[in-house]
């Protein structure tokens, strides 16, 4: 079995052995064991690297037969490290089948080197959309009214003034519109044309929404 994979997490087991969590294009999320040969440069097994793997099934797990680096995404600074670590974190908790679409999303967002404050909520919104977990934001998730004033993590979307409860986040139709735009448009198109002050409430709602559905 040959597939492209993104290294989400790498653990040293000693004796040149490593346990990797991968998101692969064909198998989805899998854990593999890999033997690092002496003298082998293992950047292909480092977190965020995109690598072509030849995998062999051994019982209920996979072993790496061969691996060839396609692209490393080794962080050049602390900001890149934090951004990439935030991207892969939800992937480590979700049951994810193989998907070209999701693979392409992770691949392209790992490469981003600027505007992380925008890239992160854009990644989350697209991830939720692909996985069928996108919140209802066009109308009140409880009663269907158009005028939404809060975001309820528990109910999975925006709520109106009658349905809002204590602890719900402040929300607006403007935030709903912007969230939908961030979900539909590519990063390159949005990065020169967005309002920074809308990102914090959007990021908070998406993070809470995802955490509630995944943890
Ligand atoms: Zn309502």
Distance in Å, CA 207 to ligand 1 centroid: 22
The 10s digit of each residue's pLDDT in 104-158 is 999 999 999 999 999 999 999 999 999 999 999 999 999 999 999 999 999 999 9
Which residue ranges make up each domain of the chain?
A: 2-71, 114-214
Which residues lie closer than 8 Å to 120 by C-beta, 6 or more apart? 83, 86, 87, 203
Distance in Å, CA 197 to ligand 1 centroid: 26
Distance in Å, CA 155 to ligand 1 centroid: 11
Distance in Å, CA 121 to ligand 1 centroid: 25
Residue 199 has pLDDT above 80, yes or no: yes
d(CA 12, CA 155): 40
Q: Torsions phi, psi of 153, nearest 5? A: -65, -40
Distance in Å, CA 140 to ligand 1 centroid: 5
The 10s digit of each residue's pLDDT in 27-66 is 999 999 999 887 776 899 999 999 999 999 988 789 999 9
Q: Which residues surround the ion ligand 1 when the cut-off is CB under 5 Å?
A: 140, 142-143, 145, 160, 163
Q: Torsions phi, psi of 167, nearest 5? A: 95, -15
Distance in Å, CA 93 to ligand 1 centroid: 31
The architecture that CATH gives domain 2-71 is Beta Barrel (2.40)
What is the average pLDDT across 92-111? 95
């Amino acid at each position: 079995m040959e597939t492209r994979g993104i290294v989400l997490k790498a653990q040293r087991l000693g004796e040149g052995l490593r346990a990797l969590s991968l998101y692969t294009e064909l198998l989805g999320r899998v854990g593999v064991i890999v033997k690092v040969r002496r003298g082998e440069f293992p950047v292909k097994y480092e977190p965020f690297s995109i690598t072509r793997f030849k995998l062999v099934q051994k019982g209920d797990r996979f072993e790496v037969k061969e691996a060839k680096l396609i692209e490393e995404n080794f962080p050049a600074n602390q900001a890149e490290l934090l951004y990439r670590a935030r991207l892969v974190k939800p992937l480590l908790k979700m049951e994810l089948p193989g998907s070209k679409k999701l693979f392409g999303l992770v691949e392209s967002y790992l490469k981003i080197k600027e505007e992380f404050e925008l890239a992160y909520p854009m990644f989350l919104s697209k991830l939720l959309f692909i996985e069928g977990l996108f919140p209802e934001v066009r109308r009140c998730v409880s009663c269907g009214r158009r005028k939404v004033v809060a975001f309820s993590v528990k109910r999975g979307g925006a709520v109106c003034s009658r349905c809002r409860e204590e602890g719900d986040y402040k929300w607006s139709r403007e935030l709903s519109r912007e969230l939908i735009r961030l979900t539909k448009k590519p990063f390159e198109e949005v990065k020169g044309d967005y309002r920074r002050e809308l990102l914090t409430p959007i990021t908070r709602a998406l993070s809470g929404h995802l955490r509630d559905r995944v943890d």
